[in-house]
Amino acid sequence: MTIKTLILSSLLASAQLIKAQTSQIKTATDVLQQAIVAMGGKEALANVKTLYTEMSTEMDGRKVLWVTKEMEPNKGAFQVVYNGRIVFENWFDGKEGYEMVRGEKKKADPEEFKAKQYKKHIMNELDFIDPSLWTLELLKEEPKVNAEDCYLVKATSAGNEVRHLYYSKKSYLMLREDNISNTEKGKFSATYFSDFKKFGDLLYYTQSKFGDGEKSQDVKIVNLWINEKVTEKDFKK
């Protein structure tokens, strides 16, 4: 068998595999189950009990660090750090959200943390497949994200939050998420995910972009720790 024949055989086998996988996708849950496998498997995702990330970006022309801390089931904290100093922070203690304004602790707008009420896991995919939290629908549209064919899943939470999830037909990784965070206000945002890398058993994005056009913001994960550096004290201030 010649090298050319081997290459053609390999390409044909890959194409047949992709076709077979695609033919198995009949529901939105099928897409999510494949996404979970692609990210490392259900066990790997469920083993993420805390997640600490440091992300570099720019705000008003200045380089800043975004720090997020998450703890299962739904606790979270966010900080903006500039020149080593925390210039903004908010957090959700599992029941209520708070923010620090001029050094004073105040209750945050409940809408900011509305989605936290419907979280049981840090990895969203595990929540998406829980019918008590989300209702899924595989839409007929077959959009592209960065020229890559995608499945489009509509996810509606128990609190009526609606998201459109774009999963690659090739890798089954989420490449885009459109979030209508408050349907009454019509608030809308798009987030793009790319440059996926392994962190232990977890395959996770390291590049993201919020929004489109001139108002978009690029963010890069520079450090990520799983089950480290996060304690209950991060959500009690």
Q: Per residue in 58-72, pLDDT tens?
A: 998 999 999 999 999
Q: 175-190 b/e with 16+ CB inside 10 Å = b?
A: bbbebbbeeeeeeeeb
CB of 34 within 8 A of CB of 172? yes
Separation CA 229–CA 92 (nearest Å): 17
Q: What is the CATH number of domain 26-235?
A: 2.50.20.10
Q: End-to-end alpha-carbon separation of the chain, Å? A: 69
Given this model, what pLDDT does residue 14 score? 42
pLDDT per position as a tens digit, 217-227: 999 999 999 99
pLDDT per position as a tens digit, 114-165: 889 889 999 999 999 999 999 999 999 999 999 999 999 999 999 889 999 9
CB neighbour class for 48 (10 Å; exposed up to 12, middle 13-18, buried from 19): buried
- Chain position carrying tokens 């392994």: 198
Separation CA 153–CA 50 (nearest Å): 27
Separation CA 211–CA 81 (nearest Å): 22
Percent of the chain scoring above 90 in pLDDT: 73
pLDDT per position as a tens digit, 162-197: 999 999 999 999 999 998 765 444 455 899 999 999
CB of 88 within 8 A of CB of 79? yes
Separation CA 165–CA 150 (nearest Å): 9
Tokens encoding 117: 């009420």
| C-alpha separations of 153 from 28, 35, 141, 219 in Å | 6, 12, 9, 24
Evaluated on CA atoms 22, 27, 32, 36, the torsion sign reads negative
| C-alpha separations of 126 from 12, 37, 140, 188, 218 in Å | 33, 11, 23, 23, 26
Q: Which range is least confidently modeled, 10-14, 20-24, 117-121?
A: 10-14
